Amino acid sequence: MHDGDRRWRRIVGTPLGLTATVLVVAVLAMAVLGPVLWGDTATAVDTDDILAPPSAEHWAGTDNLGRDILARVLVATRLSMLLALAAVAIGVSVGIVLGSAPFLLGRRSGRLVSAAVNIAVAFPGLLLALFFAVVFGVGATGAVLAIGLSGAPVFARLTQTLVAGVAARDYVSAARVAGVGRVRVLFRHVLPNIAEPLVVNATIGAGGALLSFAGLSFLGLGVQSPAYDWGRLLYDGAAAIYVNPASALAPGAAVLLAGLAFNLLGESVAKGFGVPVIGDVRRRVRPGRAGADPGPAATDDHADGTAAEDVVLDVRDLRVTFPGPAGPVRPVRGVTFDVRRGEAVGIVGESGSGKSLTALAVSRLVDDDGTVEASRLAFLGEDLRADGGAAQRRMLGTTLAMVFQDPMTSFNPTQRIGRQLAEVATTHLGMGRREAMDRAAERLDSVRIADAGERVRRYPHELSGGMRQRAMIGMGLMGTPALIVADEPTTALDVTVQQQVLDLLAAIRAADGVALMLISHDVTVVGEVCDRVLVMYAGRIVEEIPAGDLATAAQHPYTRALVAAVPDMATDVDAPLATITGRPVEPADVPTGCAYAARCPLADARCRAEDPPLEAGPRGRVACWHAGEPLPAPDSSRPAEDLVETR
């Protein structure tokens, strides 16, 4: 498989991976060749030259029988490696069997096995190894069994967790629904998909087994004379350390190098399969130098001459750039709009449109590896393009409220809700702890959370999703916000709960004149809640239109297609649903010209060559060369999507 080959190449290609691979190959080569090349030297006894320090003839000196220590160390590689690999093999196979058992057996027996493994895991490997060493007796065979079995519980636990993760995926359920037996599912679906972490851990486990063996032999409980592995050599060497330190340091160094080799190899393989490889430093994008298209000049003014005091948020030519594997990526390519006092502005778009990033950018919450630029970005007169320090933080903390999409994860799970709300008041409003908590309780009540006084002491996980979203809104109301920025606030909620949250937002706006910026993929929600709607596609605003005109007077083909594609309670059930052919544009793959041209029935050569500017129209703004033209009738004979390569 091409992906696999590429990944292996990536692993070996980094300095770390290369070093590790070379080391491992060297160790394995030594294991094979060592006894062949130095076997005789290692057994040659010379009673005249016992316990000699290092010399030209014996680089690491001699042991108590005059044998060359370095040669013994090199020859011992084979036994040390064989024992370690045997132990790992035992540990891994027993571990995989025990770890897969809960999946194959029923609930009852599976839980029994699982409990047994959990108990065994509690005991550290060395103790288990000592236990088994007593039972199996000292010596190499006993030690192999001991170390192997002592490593099994950890592997079993790992396998169990991995299997449980994969077993929860729908394709496993689908296979079972199709009638595929459990054993077949295990081998066909589960094990191949957990092979990678298992291999990584087995490699690291080999390193661990090597070290454990060294430890056990060092204690005298492992390999016994006349056989010798590195551990045994350490046992002999430690006794002679004052006379000839090299007798201990030489085998010690060998153990170290071999263990390091396996551990580092495991590490680099882990990186190669998962996260981008270390040593592959990504360069930060410097502002003003990110290639790509400059875009139309930011010359479009406000549609009407609005007084400056009325404007809460003023954004002009906003651009957000991220470093990417193949060059900088610009998910937001020049966005201009404003939000006035008390107004509700909606931003609607699909995945890849850049709507969420726009919201984060105007709030100064984009991650550090992204670069935000704009010719103007002002909130209540404060320039947000630069960091204004503590003063700016205080201003934003009290006048700009944020509501994010996922209520499950937006609160700190280890702190009570009340405290998280109160924090805003203690940090920015100079309130004391008690006063802040009182205010927090009062705010929770104002967002219609029942028993607010009691709920204040709850942890986030004790509240439902709808309650958490309302608490989030309450947190934004701890100050006196002029603007609420809500990024998909109701997407994760049930429709009845969604209605409550939207009603709450409407009530807050009506009572305190707070402006709202609502971002959503759901054009029906945005149409219902907002006064004005901005439609985004591929990082640009393609249309700005009053919400009431969405169904009747949209000018841009994308807006009209979006509205038509959503079934509602009045859609004609006898006709096929309107669809938009093709797929949303990836931010890394923006074409020249109008980004929507590939999916647009009105597109012509000009559309594909020139990107239309956002221009003011009779009711709003539109970026289209064919704005307002009638659409052709939908062609239902064409397949709706082509199988397009994603790379």
Q: Which of residues 386-445 bind another protein (CB under 8 A)?
A: 390, 393-394, 396-397, 402, 404, 406, 409-415, 423-424, 427-428, 437-439, 441-442, 445
Please list every residue from 510 through 539 that binds another protein, using CB under 8 A: 511, 521-525, 527-529
In the complex, minimum distance from the CB of residue 172 to another protein, in angstroms, rounded to a whole number = 8
Which amino acid is it at 140? A
Please list every residue from 552 through 611 that binds another protein, using CB under 8 A: 552, 561-563, 565-571, 573, 576-580, 583-584
Q: Which of 238, 292, 297, 609 binds another protein (CB under 8 A)?
A: 238
Taking the least distance from each CB to another protein, the nearer of 279 and 381 is: 279
Q: Which stretch binds another protein (CB under 8 A): 87-95, 258-266, 334-342, 375-383?
A: 258-266
In the complex, minimum distance from the CB of residue 382 to another protein, in angstroms, rounded to a whole number = 12
In the complex, minimum distance from the CB of residue 469 to another protein, in angstroms, rounded to a whole number = 12
In the complex, minimum distance from the CB of residue 296 to another protein, in angstroms, rounded to a whole number = 25
Taking the least distance from each CB to another protein, the nearer of 275 and 307 is: 275
Q: Which stretch binds another protein (CB under 8 A): 286-294, 297-305, 550-558, 622-630?
A: 550-558
**Count of CB atoms situated within 10 Å of the CB of 511:** 9
State yes or no: residue 264 binds another protein (CB under 8 A). yes
Calculate the dihedral angle through the C-alpha atoms of 508, 511, 515, 518, rounding to the nearest 10 degrees. 30
318: closest CA among 349, 286, 360?
360
Helix (H) or strand (E) segment spanning residue 347: strand 344-348
Q: Which of 117, 456, 542, 623 binds another protein (CB under 8 A)?
A: 456
Taking the least distance from each CB to another protein, the nearer of 351 and 480 is: 351
Q: Which of 5, 48, 304, 368 binds another protein (CB under 8 A)?
A: 368
Rounded to an integer, what is the distance from CA 507 to the centroid of its chain?
37
Cα angle, residue 461 at apex, residues 460 and 464 outer, rounded to 5° = 90
In the complex, minimum distance from the CB of residue 337 to another protein, in angstroms, rounded to a whole number = 19
Calculate the dihedral angle through the C-alpha atoms of 483, 484, 488, 491, rounding to the nearest 10 degrees. -140
380: closest CA among 476, 301, 313, 306?
313
Q: How far apart are CA 327 and CA 72, in angstroms?
A: 54
Phi, psi of 379 (to 5 degrees): -120, 115
Q: Which stretch binds another protein (CB under 8 A): 324-332, 543-551, 587-595, 617-625?
A: 543-551
127-133 own/partner pairs: CB under 8 Å, 24+ apart? 128/153, 129/212, 129/216, 130/221, 133/216, 133/221
Q: Which stretch binds another protein (CB under 8 A): 31-39, 185-193, 303-311, 603-611?
A: 185-193
State yes or no: residue 252 binds another protein (CB under 8 A). yes
Please list every residue from 20 through 79 that binds another protein, using CB under 8 A: none
List Cβ neighbours of 166 (8 Å cut-off, separation of 6 or more). Answer: 172, 189, 190, 193, 194
Taking the least distance from each CB to another protein, the nearer of 150 and 336 is: 150
Do residues 283 and 323 touch, judged by C-beta distance below 8 A? yes
Q: How far apart are CA 224 and CA 83, in angstroms?
A: 13
Taking the least distance from each CB to another protein, the nearer of 3 and 48 is: 3
Please list every residue from 266 through 325 that binds another protein, using CB under 8 A: 267, 278-279, 281-282, 284
State yes or no: residue 495 binds another protein (CB under 8 A). yes
In the complex, minimum distance from the CB of residue 286 to another protein, in angstroms, rounded to a whole number = 14
In the complex, minimum distance from the CB of residue 289 to another protein, in angstroms, rounded to a whole number = 17
State yes or no: residue 180 binds another protein (CB under 8 A). yes
Instruction: Determine if the peptide bond prior to 197 is cis (ω within 30°).
Output: no
Q: How far apart are CA 62 and CA 44, in angstroms?
A: 11
Q: Which stretch binds another protein (CB under 8 A): 31-39, 95-103, 243-251, 378-386?
A: 243-251
In the complex, minimum distance from the CB of residue 28 to another protein, in angstroms, rounded to a whole number = 18
In the complex, minimum distance from the CB of residue 204 to another protein, in angstroms, rounded to a whole number = 10
410: closest CA among 365, 346, 379?
365
Taking the least distance from each CB to another protein, the nearer of 374 and 550 is: 550
Q: What are the beta bridge partners of residue 517?
A: 345, 485
List Cβ neighbours of 245 (8 Å cut-off, separation of 6 or more). Answer: none
In the complex, minimum distance from the CB of residue 570 to another protein, in angstroms, rounded to a whole number = 5
* Residue 528: both structure tokens together: 């219902």
DSSP string for 366-419: --TTSEEE-SEEEETTEE-SS--HHHHHHHHHHHEEEE-S-TTTSS-TTS-HHH
Q: Which of 13, 245, 342, 601 binds another protein (CB under 8 A)?
A: 245
Q: Which of 179, 226, 325, 630 binds another protein (CB under 8 A)?
A: 179
Taking the least distance from each CB to another protein, the nearer of 192 and 430 is: 192
State yes or no: residue 256 binds another protein (CB under 8 A). yes
Q: What is the DSSP letter of 68?
A: B
List Cβ neighbours of 471 (8 Å cut-off, separation of 6 or more). Answer: 411, 417, 421, 444, 447, 449, 460, 463
Do residues 563 and 543 touch, judged by C-beta distance below 8 A? no
Taking the least distance from each CB to another protein, the nearer of 336 and 530 is: 530
State yes or no: residue 550 binds another protein (CB under 8 A). yes
Q: How far apart are CA 344 and CA 534, in angstroms?
A: 11
Helix (H) or strand (E) segment spanning residue 8: helix 2-13
In the complex, minimum distance from the CB of residue 380 to another protein, in angstroms, rounded to a whole number = 14
Q: Which of 10, 199, 350, 602 binds another protein (CB under 8 A)?
A: 350
In the complex, minimum distance from the CB of residue 305 to another protein, in angstroms, rounded to a whole number = 27
Please list every residue from 606 through 645 that binds another protein, using CB under 8 A: 636, 639-645
Q: Which of 222, 498, 517, 585 binds another protein (CB under 8 A)?
A: 498
Taking the least distance from each CB to another protein, the nearer of 334 and 514 is: 514
Burial class (CB in 10 A: 0-12, 13-18, 19+), 372: buried
329: closest CA among 345, 308, 352, 350?
352
Please list every residue from 118 through 177 that binds another protein, using CB under 8 A: 118-119, 122-127, 130-131, 133-135, 137-138, 169-171, 173-177
Q: Which stretch binds another protein (CB under 8 A): 73-81, 294-302, 489-497, 610-618?
A: 489-497
Q: What are the beta bridge partners of residue 447?
A: none
